[in-house]
């Protein structure tokens, strides 16, 4: 079992930056990939980015390249998502997830076994 706890969301203005955190605990050694997804009201869950457990490989969703930066602190078992130049369309609940394997393009939500409770990001115009 892997427990994931997100933090760092909030209400921000257009153009601001935000850093989200995801602290993992439990059998983290079984999670070879960790990722971020987001879900806006009335929309499907959308892949943001993922990193392998060793931190050597990152994969970003096509529309996420440029403003989103994924990083990981192995010593703290914590995953970070930096979002720059926030836009109102970035408003969503952001979820952290863990998968038991790293695939070539780990963008499918069904690849992930464990999920956090989510953190709300609201961007005002």
pLDDT at 6: 97
**106 phi, psi to nearest 5 deg:** -80, 60
pLDDT tier, 61 (very low <50, low <70, confident <90, very high otherwise): very high
In angstroms, the CA 82 to CA 92 distance is 15
pLDDT at 19: 97
How do residues 39-52 score in pLDDT, each as one tens digit? Answer: 999 999 999 999 99
Please check the confidence at residue 55 and state whether its pLDDT lies above 90.
no
pLDDT at 1: 87
- Pick the closest to residue 73 from 23, 18, 3 (CA basis): 23
Please check the confidence at residue 31 and state whether its pLDDT lies above 90.
no
- Pick the closest to residue 50 from 8, 95, 86 (CA basis): 95
């Amino acid at each position: 079992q892997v427990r994931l706890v997100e933090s760092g969301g909030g209400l921000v203005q257009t153009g601001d930056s935000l850093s989200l955190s995801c602290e993992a605990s439990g059998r983290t050694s079984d999670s070879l990939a960790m990722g971020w997804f987001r879900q806006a009201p009335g929309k499907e869950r959308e892949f943001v980015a993922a990193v392998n457990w060793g931190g050597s490989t990152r994969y970003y969703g096509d529309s996420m390249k440029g403003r989103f930066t994924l990083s990981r602190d192995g010593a703290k078992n914590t995953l970070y998502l930096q979002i720059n130049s926030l836009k109102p369309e970035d408003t969503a609940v952001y979820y952290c997830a863990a998968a038991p394997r790293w695939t070539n393009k780990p963008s499918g939500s069904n690849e992930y076994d464990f999920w956090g409770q989510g953190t709300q990001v609201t961007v005002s115009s």
